[in-house]
Amino acid sequence: MSAAVGGAELPRRARGVAGLPEWFVSRQPILLAVLVLAVVAVPQTSLVIQRLVQSEPKAGPVTLIVWGLYAVPLLALILTVDYFEHEPWWLVALALVWGGLIATGLALSANSAVQSILTTTEGLSFTTQWGAAIAGPTDEELLKGLGVVVCALLASRRMRSPVDGFILGAVVGLGFQVVEDIVYTANVMATGADPWSALWEMFLLRGIMAGLWSHAVYTGLFGLGLGYALTRPDWPRGRQVLAVVAGFAAAWTLHFLWNSPLIVDSTDWRLIVVKGLPALLLLLALLQRAQRADSAVFLPALAAFADPMVASDAEIASLADRRSRQRARSQARATGGWRGAHAERRLQRAQADLAVAVSTGDGVGAAGAREELAQERYLLGHLPQHPPVFGRIAGTWSIVLGVGGLFVPVVGVLGVVVAIVGLLRARAAAAARRGASVSARLWIGLALGVVGVVLVAVAYSRTG
């Protein structure tokens, strides 16, 4: 081990060990409060899971595995939103445990209590119609939101952008969502229904139909509001409070709308279009803005190098959000193939790591990121270049829509439209560049879309 490396690591370790007691001492009361709530809540949740496994020795464990696996890609998706700086693993685990065991356990009794109070005061008819809409958002959003606050207070590093708040909120929500799915599946099995069909139906209903615009989205919105409040010290206090209140109000309102019989009172595609998609779209729009705010925290550090070998102005601009990063990778792929796209991806990663390291004063991290950056720069420079191919992304979309069109005719028509527009644009772009070509995917997508529409037309004419 070289003296230089040893010398660089020593202060980091010393800081870590010396920082722990101070953090622990100042957080002791909060840790104690979390422990008390865990003691109250966890037995309630675990009792439901225990009963499920005991009453259904085969379907019970499979239920736990299915819903557990369901959470994995969603968790990965949530974590990728924070491109620059990942949350520590233990904080993500705490958020999951809070959502899955503490918030769920407390909400189980609170929900039935609120429903009971509503029945006593307002009658069964009112409670049947509005009970879930009132009890669900009120208890659950409050308890999940509390988890986000607890995680923010216990975090070993403070939030740097609203995206950090979103990550914590969405992970708490995901934990809650998965355990609630298990509880609901257990409830259906307890009514005497066939356990396998109960699991399948609940997976379709709660996992597929309701999964993408459920608790993770609601609590993610609250986390985003909290994130804005905590990372904008220059804002007046009233505006910070308003950000938190707005986050909670958005979460509560969307949850209320989903649970209530308002507008759409049926479990089909109308529910998704009217109540589900708007929630997801609202979150995506806010996230796009928050990601730009996240980039604005770190990218000035890259610009300060004023060195195009570290990052050119165009590369810094392309790091701003997911779409611009994707666009840069697509351009690299158009001329350098898959290897070009991979090298571009690693270059972006190294630039982002360098920006974080410089912004946080991590000299060792900065040195490592610069080394990685130099390697990727070298690799990109030595890749064989070929003429660009235009229309790949539109082509992929037209194929996806074309395949969908084999089942839903409207989607097939959409696929044809995307393919034709893509072809026109790609041909125009290719004509302006020597040696460039149009992606074959556009033709495949067009063919699939046309086949889908024709098949449906034939079937319609025969039944007609």
Partner 1 sequence: MQDATTPAAGTPSGVTRLPGGPVPLTLRQSTVAAVLILLVGLGAALLAPFAAALEARRVTPPGSVTAGQAVVLPADGWVVQTQDTDAVLLTRGGARLIVQWQPGTPPEPQTALATLGAATQQEVPGARGFGGVRQFTTPSRDPGYLEAFAAPGTTGAIAVVQASFGQAAIQAIAPSTTFSQVSDDIVTMITGLRILRRAVS
Stretch that binds partner 1, among 179-187, 188-196, 209-217, 326-334 (CB under 8 A): 188-196
16 contributes a contact to partner 1 by CB under 8 A: no
Nearer to partner 1, 19 or 278 (CB): 19
Q: Check binding of 146 to partner 1 (CB under 8 A).
A: yes
Q: Binder to partner 1 among 262, 304, 374, 428 (CB under 8 A)? A: 304
Q: With respect to partner 1, which residue has the nearer C-beta, 160 or 275?
A: 160
- Of 185-193, 379-387, 395-403, 451-459, the segment contacting partner 1 by CB under 8 A is 185-193
Question: Do residues 84 and 157 touch, judged by C-beta distance below 8 A?
Answer: no
Binding partner 1 by CB under 8 A: which of 5, 10, 40, 69? 40
CA dihedral 244, 258, 212, 273 (to 10 degrees): -120
148 binds partner 1 (CB under 8 A): no
Radius of gyration of the chain, Cα coordinates, nearest whole angstrom: 26
Other Cβ atoms within 10 Å of 310 Cβ, number: 22
CA dist 229 and 239 (Å) reads: 8
For 67, residues 6+ apart whose C-beta sits below 8 A from its C-beta are 178, 179, 181, 182, 185, 207
Whole-number Å distance between alpha carbons of 173 and 151: 13
Task: Pull the structure tokens for residue 44.
Answer: 């309630």
CB of 338 to partner 1, least distance (A): 32
Q: Is 142 in the site for partner 1 (CB under 8 A)?
A: yes
Q: Does 46 bind partner 1 (CB under 8 A)?
A: no
Burial of 1 from C-beta contacts in 10 A (0-12 / 13-18 / 19+): exposed
Amino acid letter, 425:
R
> Measuring CA to CA, which residue among 430, 405, 406 is closest to residue 418?
405
Counting residues that bind partner 1 (by CB under 8 A) gives 69
- Binders of partner 1 among residues 229 to 288 (CB under 8 A) are 230
Least separation in angstroms between CB 366 and partner 1: 5
Is 309 a residue that touches partner 1 (CB under 8 A)? Answer: no
Task: Name beta bridge partners: 377.
Answer: none
Least Cβ distance, residue 385 to partner 1 (angstroms): 30
C-beta neighbour count of 356 within 10 angstroms: 21
Q: Specify the amino acid at residue 205.
A: L
Q: Please name which of 408, 386, 389, 401 lies closest in space to residue 444, comparing C-alpha atoms.
A: 401
> Is residue 192 a contact residue for partner 1 (CB under 8 A)?
yes
> Which of 120/267 has CB closer to partner 1?
120
Instruction: Evaluate the CA torsion angle 118, 107, 205, 413 in order and state its sign.
Output: positive
Pick 117 or 413: Cβ nearer partner 1? 117
Contacts (CB under 8 A) with partner 1, residues 68-127:
102, 106-107, 109-110, 112-114, 116-117, 119-126
Interface with partner 1 by CB under 8 A: which range of 57-65, 136-144, 342-350, 418-426?
Answer: 136-144
Residue 153 binding partner 1, by CB under 8 A = yes
Decide if residue 315 touches partner 1 (CB under 8 A): no
Q: What whole-number distance in Å separates Cα of residue 49 and Cα of residue 373?
A: 48
3-state helix, strand and coil shares in percent for the chain, rounded to the nearest 5: 85, 0, 15
Residues whose CB falls within 8 Å of the CB of residue 346, separated by 6 or more in sequence, listed in order: 372, 376
The 10 Å Cβ neighbour count of residue 12 is 13
Are the C-beta atoms of residues 135 and 114 closer than 8 Å to each other?
yes
- Applying CB under 8 A, the span of 135-143, 198-206, 387-395, 422-430 interacting with partner 1 comes to 135-143
**C-beta of 188: minimal distance to partner 1 in Å?**
12
Of the candidate spans 150-158, 264-272, 374-382, 445-453, the one that interacts with partner 1 by CB under 8 A turns out to be: 150-158
> Interface residues for partner 1 in 323-382 (CB under 8 A)?
357-363, 366-367, 370
Single residue of 23, 90, 407, 460 touching partner 1 by CB under 8 A:
23
Extract the tokens encoding 219: 């609590």
Which one of 300, 387, 433, 454 is in contact with partner 1 (CB under 8 A)?
300
**Among 137-145, 334-342, 409-417, 449-457, which window interacts with partner 1 (CB under 8 A)?**
137-145
336 CB-near residues (< 8 Å, 6+ apart): 343, 344, 380, 383, 384, 385, 386
Interface with partner 1 (CB under 8 A): 11, 19, 23, 25-30, 32-34, 36-37, 40-41, 102, 106-107, 109-110, 112-114, 116-117, 119-126, 128, 139, 142-143, 146, 149-150, 152-158, 160, 190-192, 230, 297, 300-301, 304-306, 357-363, 366-367, 370
